[in-house]
Amino acid sequence: MRKKIYNIDSIILIITLTFSFSQLLSQSFYPVTKLDNPSPGYILTGPLGGTTLSLHDNSGKAVFSKDISSYGINPNAFRVLEDGNLAFFSSLSWVVMDRTMNVIDVVTATSEYATDFHTFSVSPEGHYLLVGKEFVTVDMSQKVEGGKTYARVLNIIIQELDRQKNLVFQWNAYEHIDVLSTTEDQSLTLSEIDPYHINTAKYDYDGNIIANFRNLDAVIKINRSNGQIMWIWGGSKCKINQFTFTNDTRNGFTGFSHQHDPKRLPNGNFLLFDNAVLNPSKSSRAVEYSINEQTKTATKVWEYEHSPAIFAEFQGNAQRLSNGNTMIGWGVNYTGNLCTEVTSDKKIVAEMGLGGNTYSYQVLRYPIMMNAVTNNIYFPRTYSFNDGTNNTSISLNVTSITGGGSVSVEKHDYAPWSISYETTRACNYLPYRWVVSYRNITNFKAQLFLSLNQISTVQDKKDLVIFWRDKENSGNFRQLNTKYNPESDRLEADITGTGEFFIGFTSNNPPTLLYPSNGSQDIPVSSILQWNDNNQIHNFIVQVATDQNFSNILINKLLSEKTSLSFDSLKYNTKYYWRVKANDNECDAKWSNIYTFTTEIAKPELLLPDNHTSNQALDGELKWKCVSGAVRYEIVVTEDKDFKDSAFTFNLNTDTCVMKYRNLKPYTDYYWRVAPIKDAVIKNWSETFTFKTTPGKVILSSPENYLNRNTINGKLTWQPINSVKDWEIQISADSNFIQGKSYSYKISGNNEFDYNNLDYSTTYYWRVKGIFKDTCTQWSDVWQFTTKIAPPEKLLTTKKVLLSSNLNKEFIYSSTTDTITSGFDIQGLLLWNDVKNAERYQIQLSLDTGFYLIKYNQFCDKTNIYYDNLYYSTTYWCRIRSFDGEQYSDWSQLMEFKTIDDLLVPQNNHYKIPVNANLLWNPTKDALYYEVRIAKDTEFNNEVKYYNSSNNNYFKVEGLDNNTKYYWSVRYFKNNQFSNWSQVFSFTTQLQKPTLQSPVEIETNNTTDLPFTWLPGKDNEYFKLQLASDKDFNNIKFEIDKILSDNFILHDNLEDGNYFWRVAGFNELNSSQWSEISSFVVNSAMSVENYTSTIEISNYPNPVKNETIFNLISNENMLLTLKIYNSNSQLVDTPVNSIYEAGTYKIRWDASKFNQGIYYYVLTADKITKSGILTIIR
């Protein structure tokens, strides 16, 4: 069983370390305890905690930082990858950055695993090598005494992903290494066990994988092709070691323990950090081995142990630098050491302490984010320290050298941290520093050439000098004899050794003016001047004048430790000149360039209307005080105090500073302001004034005044007025709005009113006023409109109702009073009411409600019209409208009616039609004869029968199949041709009627338990039985419904007499006719001697458990039938149905397959019936 895990950075650390994350690495400063010509590069640490990645220089200070808060917190394992990119672990992901620390990728293990923070590498093909982890549930009680049944074992999954994050290779530690292989200090009886604890996975030179397992004390090589283990290399406490150490025993302990960071060196050896946790010496170290993979031997070739000893119980690393030095990170230790850099002969050249920090996962040195070049120098000549990728701007013309070795030059893009001088100081310096170091060289003299073409622009290069001190980050700087070579654009100076350099000035640079920029416009009259401090001296003189010669100086200030000056009370729309220089008694100072700025134009002063004026006219003017320098003015009038929605915007060229406005909204709050315009740019806005307009009167919108033939149902609209709460509307047939002829309405909300049911052909007058909370507007002007002519109100037609096959009766149908129905004749009369002022009418009869399929479109001056030749069984819609000589009225209400069907009997989709069926249809005038067709499919493709009829509109078809759906239609012959076939009707014939079997024309002395049987007929599902004392079934004695079988036992007592019975069949949709009628006689006094044939029946045992024996007696040869019925009168078995000779018979009947209950048996022979009752028990 496996379970994903999501936040286990290190189980060992979680269990053992007692500090909280608030105590973890701050990354701000590491104290330097030793610095003596180290290898070039910045320090990368592997912090835990915080949200910042930093690079530290040899002073221990952070020189570059990267905020990675957007990628989560607690960055860890900051490193340089094999392809030169950077990476760190944060929030369960590896984040990849380029050399300038810009994020370019985020990588995780595949989704089923959590990603581990310890190791991350890149292959030559660009693939990622990383580690996932999971918990595997293991029954450790089967492996060790005291082990947990459901122990959770932390498993390690090595994965290789391509750049598209596709899985290329995977290796599972649990599948290859037994949990019991863990070292002795790892308890196997805990609930959670970490037996492997990988901290390194790297590609070896042959493409296979080197993996380091701390809790196995083992370095393992894994075949990348098949996942097999190639070899295991471990120390004394490694349970699975395959190697022999030839020369590495300390205090009786061979090899390494709980090691970190093994890596293959270019010379083929392995370098690793030996934590020595299980070694009694408790002295951690960096150690280099030469191993023979064939003989599996390991030989120590170099090691470094610190004196005094440092014991790193967790973490740590060892890095071989490009110049042969080794950088050692001391991981978690309790002696306060961060890292030590040593030479191959174990000389310490750099060492840092943890300071206030607790520990670092690893410490690396790389020449990134700087320009660094190393050359091998063995004889005098000129050496360039620019290799195309790194440009230090330095060349060295070596004039003498003792020994031979490497010389490194580093260029840093910031000035030295601490600067002090032996004698002459620099008045200022550039933001760069250089460090020159060498290795294996005793004496060294050279000319230093420093090219300025890659250096930030300076004003006067001849004032530049080179300063030098012999140790990085310590000592006083000395000014070198420096010459500027203008032809080569470089500085030249003689040097006699290594050290730290920077470029200084012999005079103060003029400050750089920042704000206002040169030529700025619209600077506020109260504002600020700002400039850059380009010098070490922070005292300045600032001058502001109204002329470029500074003869009329308005401001002359001496400032200390400030790079800005506030001013106020300058004049509007005025041009000013300003400059700044450093105030330094020791160094010459120059004035900055002279900048100019022009102050803003003054804000206009608003005059009329006064602020907060009420009852301002809807047409009026705005006034303001003119502003000097303004060419035009922008005026905005709006209802929005924030001016987001400007109702009126004007751009005016005016000398009077007056603007006329018109048509403002009544009783509305307005806001207005003015801005001057200069050089086509809007300048300072005035303050904002507000006024409220007079209530005014309502302006009507629609319907337009004097509109003729307006609708009687419509909408009145008018222009809205702000803050109106309600509206009052008056509509009248009188222009003076006399009471009794006028209608008044009050509404709230929208500026519209829906009217309806006005009189036709009538002139109406209307007006509106608005009602505010505390006042109201005037009435609007009175508008009028005249309604259109009325449409006819009542549309009538005639209807035929079928009373018999050839008789119809007419009556009047009204569209306004009667319901919509069918059965109208195909010819008839349309009638409607007379309309006032109507000169004529338009009548339309259509097959659709949209009147696209118009059958009739006629005009008449009467109030009726005759129609004919409509289609049978068709729905029509009729409408009519009036015309007054100029305009049509609206269409009348639609009348919908459906003409009579072609076919009459049987009605469509009817059931229970006799198999000899009468067909009836509507006659067609002048038809010579009719043709009928009938089939079992709607398309009349199969078994079609055709019948000719004379001019009668009916026909009888015989011999149809029972319970069958038929389709039929009719066409007529007239004018020497057939018509189209009529509509198609369908009907379903009756079910086949049952055939009675017993009792049939017999006399019986049975008065109870009399069985009735019949043949069911096709498709009958249940039956109805009627028993009567007369053949007309007027006196029905019994009627039994829903009989589900073809037999029934009547348990009721029958009196002596004649009886008649019949049966009808049914299913869910259909029924049969009654069967033929059969009769029988019940004579309780009848003796069997009346018959020549006699039978007897009895059974034993009764009640019956499993079987019973029927005793049958017959006095002559005859057909005997024995039937068994359940209590629901359902036939369940027929044990006997054969011809027997006269005699006695025993019939064995198996009752075991039937449920317990009461059963009836009936024995019949000739016209004799005998019956009895038996009981089955269980």
- Is the pTM of the predicted complex or chain greater than 0.75? no
DSSP state of 519: T
Let me know how long the chain is: 1178
Range name among 123-127, 193-197, 401-405, 626-630 with the lowest pLDDT average: 626-630
How confident is the model over 1108-1123, as a mean pLDDT? 88
| Amino acid letter for position 538 | H
Within 533-616, strands assigned E span: 539-545, 553-560, 564-567, 575-582, 595-599, 605-608, 613-616
Q: How far apart are the first and last CA of the chain?
A: 55
- Asked if the model's pLDDT at residue 46 lies above 90, the reply is no
Higher pLDDT, 18 or 993: 993
**C-alpha distances in angstroms, 716 versus 722, 729, 787, 1099?**
19, 9, 14, 100
How confident is the model over 1091-1106, as a mean pLDDT? 81
**Cα dihedral: 1004, 1010, 1014, 1016 (round 10):** 170
- Asked if the model's pLDDT at residue 358 lies above 80, the reply is no
Element at 16 (helix H, strand E): helix 11-16
Residue with tokens 């348990």: 1051
Q: What integer pLDDT is reported at residue 270 of this predicted model?
A: 98
Close Cβ partners of 178 (under 8 Å, ≥ 6 residues apart)? none
Higher pLDDT, 158 or 858: 158
Residue 418 in 3-state DSSP?
A: coil
Q: What integer pLDDT is reported at residue 1087 of this predicted model?
A: 53
- Asked if the model's pLDDT at residue 957 lies above 50, the reply is yes
Query: Are the C-beta atoms of residues 714 and 790 closer than 8 Å to each other?
Result: no
- Asked if the model's pLDDT at residue 423 lies above 80, the reply is yes
* Confidence at 539, pLDDT banded by 50, 70, 90: confident
What's phi and psi for 946, nearest 5 deg? -115, 140
Q: What is the DSSP string of 769-796?
A: EEE-SS-BPBPPPPEEEEEPPPPPS-EE
Query: Are the C-beta atoms of residues 50 and 73 closer than 8 Å to each other?
Result: yes
- Asked if the model's pLDDT at residue 987 lies above 80, the reply is yes
Distance of CA 850 to the CA centre of its chain: 45
Element at 13 (helix H, strand E): helix 11-16
Range name among 179-183, 215-219, 437-441 with the lowest pLDDT average: 437-441
Q: What integer pLDDT is reported at residue 6 of this predicted model?
A: 35
- Asked if the model's pLDDT at residue 807 lies above 50, the reply is no
The pair of structure tokens assigned to 654 is 């005016």
Q: What integer pLDDT is reported at residue 612 of this predicted model?
A: 93
Q: How far apart are CA 21 and CA 47, in angstroms?
A: 11
Q: Count other Cβ atoms within 10 Å, centred on residue 739.
A: 9
Q: How far apart are CA 122 and CA 707, in angstroms?
A: 86
The pair of structure tokens assigned to 370 is 């700087």
Q: How far apart are CA 292 and CA 242, in angstroms?
A: 12
Q: What is the DSSP string of 969-1020?
A: EEEEEETTEE------EEEEEPBPPPEEEES-SEEE---SSEEEEEE--TT-
Q: What integer pLDDT is reported at residue 10 of this predicted model?
A: 34
Residue 951 in 3-state DSSP?
A: coil
Query: Are the C-beta atoms of residues 839 and 884 closer than 8 Å to each other?
Result: yes
Q: Report the chain's mean pLDDT, rounded to a whole number.
A: 87
Residue with tokens 């002295």: 283
The pair of structure tokens assigned to 1099 is 């059974």
Reported as a single tens digit per residue, the pLDDT across 713-739 is 999 999 888 778 899 999 998 888 887
Query: Are the C-beta atoms of residues 1050 and 1012 closer than 8 Å to each other?
Result: yes
Range name among 658-662, 1015-1019, 1071-1075 with the lowest pLDDT average: 1015-1019
* Confidence at 646, pLDDT banded by 50, 70, 90: low
Q: How far apart are CA 13 and CA 21, in angstroms?
A: 12
- Asked if the model's pLDDT at residue 7 lies above 50, the reply is no
Query: Are the C-beta atoms of residues 473 and 417 closer than 8 Å to each other?
Result: yes
- Asked if the model's pLDDT at residue 849 lies above 60, the reply is yes
**Highest mean pLDDT out of 29-43, 255-269, 641-655:** 255-269
How confident is the model over 1080-1109, as a mean pLDDT? 78
- Asked if the model's pLDDT at residue 164 lies above 50, the reply is yes
Q: How far apart are CA 753 and CA 716, in angstroms?
A: 5
Nearest C-alpha neighbor of 919 from the set 934, 898, 929, 909: 934
Domains and CATH numbers, the chain: 2-366 (2.120.10.30), 372-505 (2.60.220), 512-599 (2.60.40.10), 605-693 (2.60.40.10), 700-779 (2.60.40.10), 795-885 (2.60.40), 903-989 (2.60.40.10), 1090-1178 (2.60.40.2550)
Q: Count other Cβ atoms within 10 Å, centred on residue 278.
A: 18
* Confidence at 703, pLDDT banded by 50, 70, 90: very high
How confident is the model over 1019-1025, as a mean pLDDT? 91
| Amino acid letter for position 1172 | G
- Asked if the model's pLDDT at residue 13 lies above 60, the reply is no
Residue with tokens 């580093």: 410
What's phi and psi for 14, nearest 5 deg? -60, -40
* Confidence at 16, pLDDT banded by 50, 70, 90: very low
Nearest C-alpha neighbor of 112 from the set 134, 84, 130, 95: 134
Q: How far apart are CA 1009 and CA 1162, in angstroms?
A: 9
Higher pLDDT, 461 or 261: 261
Higher pLDDT, 107 or 819: 107
How confident is the model over 483-508, as a mean pLDDT? 91
Q: What integer pLDDT is reported at residue 800 of this predicted model?
A: 47
Range name among 5-9, 353-357, 870-874 with the lowest pLDDT average: 5-9
* Confidence at 14, pLDDT banded by 50, 70, 90: very low
- Asked if the model's pLDDT at residue 740 lies above 60, the reply is yes
**626-661: b (≥16 Cβ within 10 Å) or e:** ebebbeebbbbbbeeeeeeeeebebeeeeeebebeb
Reported as a single tens digit per residue, the pLDDT across 88-107 is 998 889 999 998 889 999 99
Q: What is the 3-state secondary structure (H, E, C) of 393-421?
A: EEEEEEEEEEEEEEEEEEEECCCCCCCCE
Reported as a single tens digit per residue, the pLDDT across 233-262 is 999 999 999 999 999 999 999 999 999 999
